[in-house]
Amino acid sequence: MISPTPVPSSLALQQDVSLADLSTLKVGGTASWFTQVYDLQQFQQTRIWAEKQGLPIFYMGEGSNVLFSDEGFPGLIVQNCITGIEPYGEEVEIGAGQNLIEAIRRLNRLKLSGMERLYGIPGTVAGALVGNAGAYGQQIGDSVVEVSIWSNHQVQVLPARDLDLRYRYSRFQRQRDWFILNCRLRLQKSSEPLQDISDEILTKRLVKYPQGLKCPGSFFKNINLDEISETALESIPEDFIMFGKIPAGKLLEAVGANGVRRGDAQFADYHGNLIVNLGRATSQDILTLADEYAGRVWEHFRIRLEPEILIVDDGEWAHLRGGDE
């Protein structure tokens, strides 16, 4: 029998780590292995070790947009902790494991505008790039110049035009083997009180997301009008349409989702697109509830809801069914 490669002492690998503790939704079984990486060298050593073991690998930031499975993850979870912010005039280079809120605070102090409205979105810069995070009329993709990634044992620098950055989508969602190392953003010098703008937005956000809420933010993506059939569009009340999109929350509210509970998972009573863990929810509770109401939206409106969050299942992307045809 081949004996497993010993863990090099330079790698701070932990065994049997609770995934619930690693995500804002506080759901999930156990990861066989977990580690945090602080620089490229540590990442490469970790990756090589995991490859020798034949382990599936999942990269994460702060776990604010993921649903881990109750079955756990039979591989290695790598948390990106590569931080740092280096300004170069109107451009900044940011370590992808940098917390987004801290990064924006720094950009505001540097009087660089373009990201101030994203203030309050939890997670890392890498996580924001993967989902092209956005709020209040800004999205990170609008400021990206280039992103450095690790792929196939080498570092590559990709310009924004190669990243397919769209509404809550990027090429990173297809390239699951790319590890995001850092990015360069281009911003605009501004004399506006940027931190005041950010603070005002944060106050509004705290009404929807009170501190300590166990959730992954919005559960489903809003719907672009050009993605649905004309027949489906005809059944949509005019006041549902906002800024060229149909908010998933409006559709869910219309089919009675608000306040509905399955196990310890519940749609917030004040917002249709917010599923919260009341304390002991399982990933099955969350998926049952989400699937049931995505199905109702399909039956009622013939619109398929697509999860905005990432459902981690054996290291693969998994998608919820939006009801059967």
Ligand X SMILES: Cc1cc2nc3c(=O)[nH]c(=O)nc-3n(C[C@H](O)[C@H](O)[C@H](O)COP(=O)(O)OP(=O)(O)OC[C@H]3O[C@@H](n4cnc5c(N)ncnc54)[C@H](O)[C@@H]3O)c2cc1C
> Which parts of this chain interact with ligand X (CB under 6 A)?
24, 58-66, 80, 96, 121-124, 126-128, 130-131, 133-135, 172, 178-180, 209, 215-217, 310
Q: Which is nearer to ligand X, 122 or 323 (CB)?
A: 122
Question: C-beta of 89: minimal distance to ligand X in Å?
Answer: 26
21 within 8 A of 68, measured Cβ to Cβ: no
Q: Which is nearer to ligand X, 83 or 258 (CB)?
A: 83
Pairing of strands 14-18, 310-313: unpaired
Question: C-beta of 49: minimal distance to ligand X in Å?
Answer: 18
Question: C-beta of 71: minimal distance to ligand X in Å?
Answer: 18
Q: Which is nearer to ligand X, 95 or 322 (CB)?
A: 95
Q: Which is nearer to ligand X, 47 or 304 (CB)?
A: 47
Angstrom distances, CA of residue 92 to CA of 25, 39, 80, 185, 324: 31, 18, 19, 5, 46
Query: How many residues comprise the chain?
Result: 325
Helix (H) or strand (E) holding 223: strand 223-224
Identity at 212, one-letter amino acid code:
G
187 within 8 A of 115, measured Cβ to Cβ: yes
Q: Which is nearer to ligand X, 99 or 233 (CB)?
A: 99
90 within 8 A of 188, measured Cβ to Cβ: yes
Catalytic positions: 168, 218, 308
Question: C-beta of 26: minimal distance to ligand X in Å?
Answer: 11
243 — phi, psi (to 5°)?
50, 45
State the Cα–Cα distance between residues 17 and 110, nearest whole angstrom.
38
Q: Give the three-class secondary structure for 129.
A: helix
Question: C-beta of 285: minimal distance to ligand X in Å?
Answer: 18
